[in-house]
Amino acid sequence: MDPRQRPLLHRRLGVLKALAWSLVATLILIYAWLQLVRHAEFKQLAMQQAVKIRPIAAPRGLVLDRNGFRLVDNRRALHLVIQREDLPTRPEVIQSLALALELEPAALARKIQSYRFAGKGRPLVLKENLDDAGIALAERVRARFPFLSVDVAPRRVYLGDELAGHVLGYVGEVDEELMKAKPGVFHLGETIGKEGFEASGNDKLKGVDGQKRILVDQLGTEVANFGQTDATPGRSLYLTLDAGLQKVMQDAYGEEAGAAVVLDLRDGGILAMYSSPSYDPNLFLNRLSQEMVDRYLNNPTRPMLNRAIQGIYAPGSTFKLLVALTGLEKGVITPQTVIYCAGKKNFYGRDFRCDKPTGHGGLNLVQAIAQSCDVYFYEVASRLDIDDLYATAEKYGFTDRTGVDLPQEKRTRIPSRAWKRKASPRDPKWYAGETISVGIGQGAVGVTPIGLARFYATLATKGKVLTPHLFYGFRDDQSNQLTPAPPPPPRDTPLDPRIWSVLDEGLYEVVKDGTARASALTDITMVGKTGTAQVATFVDKAHYARQAKHLKDHALFAGYAPREHPQIAFAVVVENAGFGADMAAPIAKKLVQYWFVDRLRNPLPPPRGRMVDPFAPAQEAEQ
């Protein structure tokens, strides 16, 4: 080598050594930075890959009747699911998965897409409530799609089937529509109450989800449990319902449509509420077949409608008590006022007929209530203004929703001039002849069964406007005893004792010697008013007899018992069943008979107390 080039070579080697040492130093610094500075971050990322968080669904609280009879329970169920972090992205994988599980590929793709961007939530459920065949299918499919897993989750069970379907409602998963309607309130896939008390009492019944951490291998297969936080179950609660009375009500309706409500006059607790036709909430826990959709959701008989709080019915002659109350308070009649009934009476150039074509003759108010004379109440209504009737109804809580703790209650419809202007802008004038029809509970007036029951409860309590309710209290997890909740406070609107005694006497005579005398009881004094609400016009009784079933009159009966010290009030509506005395009053008789006689002849316990379980075996009851 040329000695002159040696210094140049040394310089170049020096540069290379410097570069090499710089590279080593840089690598050491990077390694130190990764190991020391970002150690926690990378450890967390590694743990996220190896340890997965799985939510543990919290069981909802049980629902019991006032005696401790279980109406809603929980059972263990197995679901085939995809955890949120394992959702597939490739269309061909989604297509294959759908075909393997006999699902609609497009629907599965949409659901996976919605879950992918929905944030926190439970896993995507593909198959619910796996039976033996379902478990076998799940295991076969999981061999091809290892990201699938089988989760254990609580499942709601409604023990009474159709006994209290409308009252209890049912649960379901939170969907995208609800997420959009109430952003930030629910998580996608969360189970919430959809209808009935499950919906209105959702916050009382729901628990707090837990979570478990599991170790998985590189294929995502669960290897070991890495610890968990247990779910907190929802609190179990009592309803004011009496399952025995509810069963009597259900059996009394049979195949007839309609609704009935029985109220506890001490605090407004709903002892029984039934809407017919009913439905079994268990059927709505799974995806509905088209047959089930047609049977329940597209059925013209509307079995999903809770007629007790959403059905609007002409009250017929049960409304005459409000007319009588208004007439007495306004002074247009007295209890001794006698009006002659000749079978019809002409008002404003039109004949208004009585149900008795030959007429009732001269009647005072008590007799008119007992015989349900239409002419008498036509005349009283003619002496009143429609706004007088509305004001009295408003005073005694008959124009408002009752405030029952169930969703979607409808308001009773008591007409007034202001109502007519809003409801009929093309013909806003209220005509005096319309008041005549309202005087017997026809025309524009319409009430819900629960609203009618509350009005008669107001009469029974001499002016106490109660708030019907179902929530009775929580069950103590240790002792299983009732921890009562304070009932909604009533609104006192005292009735004049002289007026009340006349109305009470009239209702007593209805059952003693009047239109409902066939439904009188020997052991208990039931009082009430029959009602027959016309659905379609007819010429005479022969023409009415030829009418189709759906054109027949609605039958009603409302009242309270016992007369001496009223404890319950009730309203019964039977659709297209004819006269109230023939169809509705006998149902009320069965309810009163059960409550006061057949129910072991036990008097009502102190308010908020426990009752004997009517379903308990004899040996258990003795213990």
Question: Which residues are part of the catalytic machinery?
Answer: 317
Token digits of residue 611: 């009752």
- How far is it, in rounded angstroms, from Cα 402 to Cα 130? 42
- How far is it, in rounded angstroms, from Cα 278 to Cα 258? 10
- How far is it, in rounded angstroms, from Cα 480 to Cα 446? 43
Closest CA to 569 of 584, 557, 579, 577: 557
Residue 477 burial (CB count, 10 A) = 10
| Distance, CA of 357 to chain centre | 43
Beta strand extents in 159-221 (DSSP E only): 171-173, 191-193, 210-216
| Distance, CA of 250 to chain centre | 17
How many Cα neighbours within 13 Å face the side chain of 598?
14
How many Cα neighbours within 13 Å face the side chain of 519?
29
- How far is it, in rounded angstroms, from Cα 536 to Cα 14? 112
Q: List all residues 6 or more positions away from 215 whose beta carbon is below 8 Å from its beta carbon.
A: 50, 51, 222, 223, 224, 225, 226
Instruction: Evaluate whether 474 touches 237 at the Cβ level (below 8 Å).
Output: yes
User: What amino acid occupies position 57?
Assistant: A
Closest CA to 512 of 531, 527, 530: 527
569: β partners: 263, 560
- How far is it, in rounded angstroms, from Cα 536 to Cα 553? 8
Instruction: Evaluate whether 265 touches 465 at the Cβ level (below 8 Å).
Output: no
**In degrees rounded to 5, what are phi and psi of residue 209?**
-60, 145
Helix (H, G, I), strand (E, B) or coil at 226: strand
**In degrees rounded to 5, what are phi and psi of residue 432?**
-60, -35
| Distance, CA of 552 to chain centre | 29
Instruction: Evaluate whether 384 touches 392 at the Cβ level (below 8 Å).
Output: no
End-to-end CA gap in the chain: 115
